[in-house]
Structure 1
Amino acid sequence: MKTVQLTKFGIDNFTINEVEIPTPSANQVLVRIKAVSLNYLDVILAQGSFDPYLSFPYTPASDGSGIVEQVGSNVTRWKAGDRVAIQYVQKWTKGKIDQESNSVRVAWQTPGVLSQYVCIPDYGLVKAPDNLSFEETATLPIAALTAWHGLINQANLQLGQTVLTQGTGGVSLFALQIAKAAGARVIATTSSNEKAEKLRKAGADEVIDYTQHPEWHKQVLSLTNGQGADITLDIAGTKTIEQSLLSVKENGFVGTAGFISGAALPLDIHRHKINLSFLRIQGLAVGSAESFTALNRAIEIADIHPVIDSVFTLDTVHDAYRRLQEGQHFGKIVITV
C-alpha cells in the first residue's frame, strides 16, 4: 500500500512509500482510507515546532474517513463495508476527558492516517453521516467536533443567542453552520470583502472586516446594543484573545480553540472584567466519540455540508500543506487517498 511519510522535519520532505498492508489485531479494525483533511496542527507537527521529539519515519494527518475492510476476532461493533470516521482522541469515548482518555491522539502518539490502509482500535471510530461524502466526512474529526463540543456541550448554546466566530478556517465555519442550525445569530470576522461575501452566503448575519476595524470588539458591541456576544470561539490566540474577552457579554463564554497567532494569553483580570462579569474561559480541543456521534446525527438532521476549500491527491500532498500554511483558504483542505 501507499503511505505518506516524513524522515525529517519540513513539509518539503514528505515521501510516498510502499509498505505492507497492516493486519488488525483482535480488537482492531482495518480501515481503507478514502480521504484525509488537514488542520493547522498537522503543519506545525510536520515542521517540528509543536513536538520536536516525533519519531521517524512519521506518517502525518489525524483526520480521515474510509471503509471498514476487515475486523479483528473480538470486534463486534463494526463489519466490513461500514463507512467510518476516525476519532482523534482515541480513548475519549464519552463523558469528561481525563489523563487516561487524553493519552492517545492520532498522528501524535500513534501514526497518522495519510495511508491507503490503517489499523484503528474498535473504539476509535464513529459511523460516518449518511448525507456526507468521504471527502466531507474527513473534515469532521477535529474542526467540526471542536465547534460542536464548544457550542453545545460547553457553552450550552440556546436559540436566539449571538455567536461570534473568527476567520474562515474549519472550526469557525463549522461553528457558523452549527450555530445557525441551532437558531442562533452569528457575527463573523474576516480580512477581505471576498471572504465576507462567502461568509454571508454561508449564513453569517453580520460580518466585520478586522483589517478595516482593528478594534473589532467595538463593532461587536455596536451590533449587540452594547451587550456583547453570548459566545465566542477564539481560534488565533495571542492576537485575538484580548478582543474576544471584550466582545462577550456578562456571563459570556470564550472558548479558546487555537493558537495560529501565538499561544501566549495576555490577560488582565480587572481590565477584561473576567471576575466582575463572570466570564467563562474554556479550553477546547475536540470531544468524545459520544459527542462525535451526536454531532453526526445533527449533521444528518440539519443536512449540514462542510465547506471544502480544495481537494488534493497523495501525489500533491506538498501542495496541500502549502495551501494550509499560506492561510488563504476558505474552509477545509482535503486529500483523497
Structure 2
Amino acid sequence: MALPSTTRAWSIREINKDSFDSLLGDHDVLVQIEAVSLNYRDLAIPKGLYPFAINLPFVPGSDSAGIVLAVGPKVIRVAKGDRACTLFNEHHLTNPITPEAAESGFGGAIDGTLREYAVFGDHALVKAPTSLNAIEASTLTCAPLTAWNALYGLQSKAIKAGDWVLTQGTGGVSLSGIQVAAAAGATVKPGATHIINYKETPNWGEVARALTPEGAGFDHILEVSGAGSLEQSLKAIKLEGVITIIGFLAPSEKQPPLMDALKHVCIVRGIFVGSRQQFEEMNRAIDSAKIYPVIDSNIFSFDDVKKAYQYQWDQKHFGKVVIKIAN
C-alpha cells in the first residue's frame, strides 16, 4: 500500500454551542499561495535566535501573496479572484497593537505561509496593490510595512518633504525605507544621496550627522541593527527626532542606557511591523507613487526552500528573497 502524500482536514475556528456551523467557516478564505518572501526572522527561528515566543511545530513564513479561490458566506473584505497578502500578525488590525495581536504572528505563533494552499480568516488579509505582480506583492507583509510604520506610525512625527532620513544596510526594511522616504520628498542616507560604510567608519553617527543641514541631525533613523549600533544612531539623531528600533541583527552587551534618550532629546520607539489599516494605506501609496519592491534576482522554487534560507543566511542576496509556490 502506497503511503499518502496529501491529506484533507477540517478546521474549527470559533465556538458555537448552538450548531456545528463553525466547521464551515463563515469568515474563512481559501487562498492559493503564489509566492512567499523571507525575512531575517524566518532564518533566526530555526537557529534559535528569535527573541519572541513560538509554538512548535508550525508552518513557517509570514509574507505571501496569493489568489482567493473561495470565500465563506460572510466574507466581505476580499472576493474570489482577488490577489491578497497576509498580515504579519493576524490580529493587528489597527494601532495601538494589543497583547493578543503581538502573539498572533504567522510563521511563529501560528501556522504561516510556506504551503500551497491555506485557509485564513478574512480579517488577516489585505488586497494586494493592483500595480504589483505576485512575486512583488509577496514582499510587502513585513519589510515595507515596517518601514511605513517607522515613518508614518507617529502622526505627530510623520515623515514629510524636506526631512532627513537615515537607514542602515541593504536589508528589506532599509531598502523599503529609502523608497518610502524618497516618495515623501525626504533626503535619504544611504541611497542616491549619501553612503557611509560603517565597517570603514565605526563612528558613523557623527559623520552622518555632519551631512545634515547645519549638522542638526536626522529627523528619522530606522535602527535595524539593534544594540550594537544604537549608540551611533543617538549621535546622529536630531533634537526631537525619532529613532525607530526595528531589528536585532547586531546584539551587543554594550548598549547605551535608556536615559541617553533624554540626553539627546529624542524619541526612541520600538515597533512590531504594522497594522492592517497601515497595510492598506501603504498599498494605496504603492499604487499611486508606483513603488516597486527591490527583489533579489534569484527566485527559488518550493522544493528549494532550504537553499533559499541558506542563500539569505550567507548574505548573498540584495533585496527580498522570494520563493515561488504556484507554477
TM-score (norm 2): 0.88
- What is the CA–CA distance in structure 2 between the aligned matches of 1:77 and 1:226, rounded to whole Å? 48
Which of 277, 296, 299 does residue 290 from structure 1 map onto?
A: 277
Question: Alpha-carbon deviation of 1:214?
Answer: 1.4
Alpha-carbon contact 2:53-2:109 (below 8 Å) kept: no
Matches within 5 A, 1:151-170: 151-154=151-154, 155-170=157-172
Output the CA distance in 2 between the equivalents of 1:171 and 1:303: 18
Tell me the equivalent position of 1:319: 307
Greater CA drift, 32-41 or 88-97: 88-97
Q: Secondary structure at the match of 2:239?
A: strand
Comparing 115-124 with 325-334, greater Cα deviation is found at: 325-334
Partner AA of 1:127 in structure 2: K
- Kept after mapping to 2: 8 A contact 1:22/1:117: no
Q: Identify if the C-alpha distance between structure 1 residues 45 and 263 changes in structure 2 by more than 3 Å, giving closer, same or farther.
A: farther
In structure 2, the partner of 1:93 is 93
Q: What is aligned with 1:173?
A: 175
Which stretches in structure 1 are left out of the alignment for 5+ residues? 1-16, 189-198
Q: Alignment partner for residue 281 of structure 1, among 268, 278, 282?
A: 268
Q: Hey, what does 2:236 align to over in structure 1?
A: 247
Task: Report the Cα distance in structure 2 between the residues aligned to 1:287 and 1:219, rounded to whole angstroms.
Answer: 31
Separation in structure 2 between the aligned mates of residue 107 and residue 85 of structure 1, nearest angstrom: 14
- Quick one: distance in 2 between partners of 1:208 and 1:33? 39
Runs of 4+ in 1 over 6 A off after TM superposition: 21-24
CA 158–55 in structure 1, closer or farther in 2 if over 3 Å, else same = same
Distance in 1 (CA, whole Å) between partners of 2:228 and 2:313 is 18
* CA displacement at 1:218 relative to structure 2: 2.0
Superposed CA offset, 1:152-185 (max 9, x none): 1224111101000000000000000000000000
Structure-1 separation of matches of 2:252 and 2:61: 22
CA contact (8 A) 2:30 2:71 kept: yes
Alignment match, 1:196 = none
Q: Which moved more, 1:177-186 or 1:303-312?
A: 303-312
Question: 2:207 and 2:264 mapped to 1: Cα distance?
Answer: 19
SS at the partner of 1:312? strand
Quote the offset at 1:328 in angstroms.
Answer: 3.5
Cα distance change, pair 38–22 in 1 and its aligned pair in 2 (3 A): farther
Note the alpha carbon deviations across 1:181-227, whole angstroms, 9 max, x for none. 00000012xxxxxxxxxx4xxxx311111122111112212211321
Describe the shift of the 1:296–1:266 C-alpha distance in structure 2 as closer, same or farther (beyond 3 A): same
Match of 1:208 in 2: 196
CA distance in 2, matches of 1:234, 1:68: 36
Find the residue that maps to 1:239 and give its secondary structure. helix
Which of 288, 292, 301 is the equivalent residue of 1:305?
292
On the 8 A contact 1:162/1:229 being kept in 2, the answer is yes
Aligned position for 2:78: 78
Q: 1:323 to 1:209 in 2, by over 3 A?
A: same
Identity %: 37
Q: CA shift at 1:245, angstroms?
A: 1.0
Structure 1 counterpart of 2:244, which letter? G
For residue 150 of structure 1, report the CA deviation from its aligned partner. Answer: 0.7
Letter in 2 for 1:296: N
Partner of 1:60: 60
Q: How far does residue 95 in structure 1 lie from its aligned partner after superposition? A: 2.9
Q: In 2, distance between residues paired with 1:41 and 1:205? A: 29
- Aligned-residue CA RMSD in angstroms? 1.9
| Contact persistence 2:28–2:121 (CA under 8 A) | yes
TM-aligned CA deviation for residue 46 of structure 1: 2.1
Q: Distance in 2 between matches of 1:251 and 1:319?
A: 44
Once the 2 structures are TM-superposed, how far is the Cα of residue 264 of structure 1 from its aligned partner?
5.6
How many residues are treated as equivalent by the alignment?
304
CA contact (8 A) 1:237 1:264 kept: no
| Structure 2: distance between partners of 1:78 and 1:33 | 15
The structure whose residues are more often strand, as a share, is 1
Q: Distance in 2 between matches of 1:43 and 1:264?
A: 22
> In structure 2, how many angstroms separate the alpha carbons of the residues matched to 1:238 and 1:103?
23
Q: Which residue of the partner structure matches residue 220 of structure 1?
A: 208
1:147 corresponds to: 147
SS at match of 2:286: helix
Asked if 1:48 corresponds to 2:48, the answer is yes
